[in-house]
Structures are given as C-alpha cells and as structure tokens.
Amino acid sequence: GAVVSQHPSRVICKSGTSVKIECRSLDFQATTMFWYRQFPKQSLMLMATSNEGSKATYEQGVEKDKFLINHASLTLSTLTVTSAHPEDSSFYICSATPASGQGAPNNEQFFGPGTRLTVL
C-alpha cells in the first residue's frame, strides 16, 4: 500500500514552454503533498508544501509564479514549471502523507519515483 505515482517520468521541452507534472496517491488520500527538487548527486531540496483545497506554501527562494502548484483533490497535486529555462532542468520528486485514519503514521512521507525535466 501507500503508493505514489508521478507522470511523466521524464520530459524534454523547449525553453519558454510550460511543463506540468502530476503526483498521485494511488491507494490512499493525502492531505498534504510535498514537492522536492534534486540536483545530480545532491540531496532533496523542499520546494513547497501542498495542501488539498488551499494555497501551497513555498520555501524561501522558490518562486511561486514560476512553480505553480495545484492540489485539487486528496489524491492529486500538480506542479507546473512555467516558462521553463535550462536552469530548471532537474529531478522533481513529490511525496504524500496519508490523511488520519488510513493505517499509516500521518507524518510518514511516501515518495513518488520522480520526474526528470530537461529544458533545451
């Protein structure tokens, strides 16, 4: 149980275009989803916290107009990289925490497989 999927797994786009990445909790409801960015051979950097039905909370230094997050349901959060540039190329990872009463500690994060974005 507690599977998180991401789509697409990899995407290549031209500079200036926008890219949407989906994060889904497949077998549980997630009140909170998190978006991370991981550079090669580096740790995960938290970008934002996404709560269902409310605005995302962005970490310091992360441009909210650049990285649009929508958490429209308890099983889906999307990250849209707007007007992507080569420096946005990275590995984007989402995670989700189960809502209370679903059999898992509600502070445990379950991670998606990641999406590799390459901006040409």
At a CB cut-off of 8 Å and minimum separation 6, what does 41 contact?
none
CA–CA distance, 75 with 97 (Å, rounded to integer): 10
| Contact yes or no for 21/91 (Cβ under 8 A) | no
Site stretch for other proteins (CB under 8 A), options 22-30, 45-53, 64-72, 82-90: 45-53
Q: State yes or no: residue 70 binds other proteins (CB under 8 A).
A: no
Residues in 2-41 that interact with other proteins by CB under 8 A:
4, 32, 34
Select from 70, 80, 102, 109 the one that contacts other proteins (CB under 8 A): 109
How many residues sit in the footprint of other proteins (CB under 8 A)? Answer: 22
For other proteins, which residue of 57, 82, 89, 118 counts as binding (CB under 8 A)? 57
Residue closer to other proteins, measured from CB, 56 or 81: 56
Nearest partner of 78 among 37, 20, 26, judged by Cα: 20
Residue ranges binding other proteins (CB under 8 A):
4, 32, 34, 42-44, 46, 49, 51, 57, 93, 95, 97, 105-109, 111-114
